[in-house]
Each structure stands twice: as structure tokens, then as C-alpha cells.
Amino acid sequence: MGEVNIVKKIVATLAILALLMPSVAKANDEHFVPKTSGDKLYVVNDVLLVNKKYSLPSDYNPPIASGAMLYGPAQKAFLEMRAAGLKAGVNLQIVSGYRSYDYQNQLFEQYRANFGDRAAQFSAIPGQSEHQTGLAADIGDASYIDLTLEQSFADTKAGKWLAANSTNYGFILRYTKGDDKLTGYMYEPWHFRYVGKKVAKEMTTLKIKTLEDYLGVTDGAGRKVATPLYYQLINNDTLKKVKLFNIAGRNYLLLNDFMELASDEHAMLYIESHDENQYILSTVKPETELAIKKLVLKPQKSGLRTAVPTKSNLKLNGIELKSKAYFIDNNLYISLGDFAQNLGYQVKLDKKEKQFGLEWVKETAFTKGVVSTEPVV
């Protein structure tokens, strides 16, 4: 209890300092990413991730309105949640909200002075604290605020109400029980992170406990982080924007874009039908040596997305394809290498010219015997 009381005193003292910090203009975007920080931030699906691996730069400075303890959308959502809590008999209060880089440094140094290296188990070094985003808060009940920074808070009326209702307002319990190896921090039933209603409810529906698993940073939910690599499809000197993603070292292309890349007047690939369980594809027999489309390599510095493994069956000309596929933003992406090989194409990469195309080299089981007729679209 002695350690807990010291922690409470430190937080209470520094919380007063936080309220005295100068405010800046309010922004409209839900997940604030300052332009000055550029690609220094780790953002997946427009959600900012901060932990012991992905840090914030020292110049990160979200706009916090005067008198607020969180960034605009998070502050508004908390007030709505607090109003609902009062009706249920709990008086929610933010014990600690936004912290600047300097403030977090001061807090961590005080923890380290009292607990030595053990301080890293429950406090973050500057740049690794979610409080610095303006989207995280330590929340308690004003009626028994002394219990807020104890794990027994989970058993209080306020703790139970928050656990059951916070996602309705866009908040998630950030450091869940038994997941310290994923999040980097011990179980904290008082620490909530604003991610928006859509993400919070989807995590609940999918029963995904940590933000790391949801975004695909870890393998717990089978999801992966997809990195955009290329951006332009050339077709007879006509440019079209496309997205090719690298997932775990392999390149994945939007199914429709692959069909366009692999098709010309002699080699047609099209979707015959599809539903949530399977995609049925058909081809017209290829008779040409070279597909005329090419993708120009355009590495992207931002735009990381979460790739969700699909359970859908892929069938080509009635034969099931043994190829990995992912959904990214509800669009089906297929393994470029696997799919091309199944169709008898070889991927030709020209690193010097920074482009690649597909060359048809042989007939396969997927294309053999296909009648050369125009598809019905």
C-alpha cells in the first residue's frame, strides 16, 4: 500500500500541473496526427498506436482545449459517458488525462526515484505513454477516488460499469488482464483509451482484447499490418491508381486490379460470382506471351492498414486456389506471386526501372481447356 500511496501523490500533484498547461486550437479529426511529426508516428487504419515499441516524438503536441483533460473528440465522448454513468449511480472522474512530453518525463523520473527499474512496469518513459496522445485517461469514481489506481477498482461499481459500457462511447480498456506481454504494461482497470465508437465496438464484437492484436501488430488475432508499396497501373500509357500492399514480406494486390493487370484481348480474367463465403473466377484461354500492363513502384510513407485473413474460398475455373488472401478495408487482396503462378504467369521485376509486369509462360490446370470466348460481365 505504501507504493500505491506514493504513486497517488505523484499523480495528484502532476494532475494539477496539467490543468495549468497552455491550450491550443481545437481540431476536427478524431485521431489527431500533427503534420510536423510526419512519418514519425505509427498509425494503422488511422488509429495512432503508442507503446514501448512505437514511440511519440518529443514535438508531439495535440490540441487540448482550455479546461479539458483530453483531445476534443475524446473529451466530448468522456462527458457523454460521464452523464450516462451518473444516471447509473457512478460519478466518473478523470484522475489523469493528457500529459506533455516534459510532464511525462517528470512523472517517470519521480517513479524511478521511488521504485528504481521497477517503475517501467507501471509507468512509461517519455514518448511511450498513451497519455501524451490526449486520447487516454485514468478514470475513477469521485466517491472513492483513492481506489482508482488499484487493481481492485475493477470490482467497484464504477469499474464494472466502465468495463461493460465504455465501448459504447468509443473507449476501450487498454491494459487488459494477462496481456502485459502484448501491451507492455501490467493490468490497469482504470486506464481507458479513446479509439472511436466504430473501432471499440468492432473489438468487442470480434472479442479482441488488445489494440495491438486488433491493428495486426501482433499475431494473436491472425491479423497483419499491410504496408502500401505501389500506386500506379499503366495500361497503354494510361495511369490508374491502385494499391499493392506488402504483408509479412509478400505482395498482395486488389483482386480487380490483378484481373486488369493479367488480362488483355487474348487473356481475360473475371469474377463470375461471389458472396461472403467464396469468390468464383473464370478465365478465357491465354494465347499471348506478354501482358501489356505494368505497375510502377511508388513506395508510400504512410497509409498502413490492417489485413484481415479471409475464410472465403477462392475458385478459378471450378478449381480451388491454394493462395493466401486478406481483406483490407473490406476489399479482397490476393497474393500476387501465388495467383500469377496459378494462372501460368511469371512476375517480371525491373528494379532499375522501378516497375514490373506479368509474362504468361505456360498453361496450368486452372486455364487448361478453357474456351476462348468473351466473358459475360
Contact by Cβ (8 Å): 7, 149: yes
Strands (E), the chain: 43-44, 47-48, 92-96, 136-141, 171-175, 188-194, 224-235, 238-247, 250-254, 269-274, 278-283, 290-297, 305-309, 313-316, 319-320, 325-328, 331-335, 345-350, 355-360
Contact by Cβ (8 Å): 240, 232: yes
C-alpha cell, 131: 497519455
User: DSSP letter at 304?
Assistant: B
Which member of 109, 188, 265, 320 is catalytic?
Answer: 188
Interatomic CA distance for residues 328 and 373, integer angstroms: 32
Interatomic CA distance for residues 173 and 321, integer angstroms: 40
Contact by Cβ (8 Å): 255, 338: no
Residue 139, classed as helix, strand or coil, is strand
C-alpha cell, 65: 482545449
Whether 188 sits among the annotated catalytic residues: the reply is yes
Interatomic CA distance for residues 194 and 172, integer angstroms: 6
C-alpha cell, 151: 487493481
Give the residue numbers annotated as catalytic, written as ranges. 188
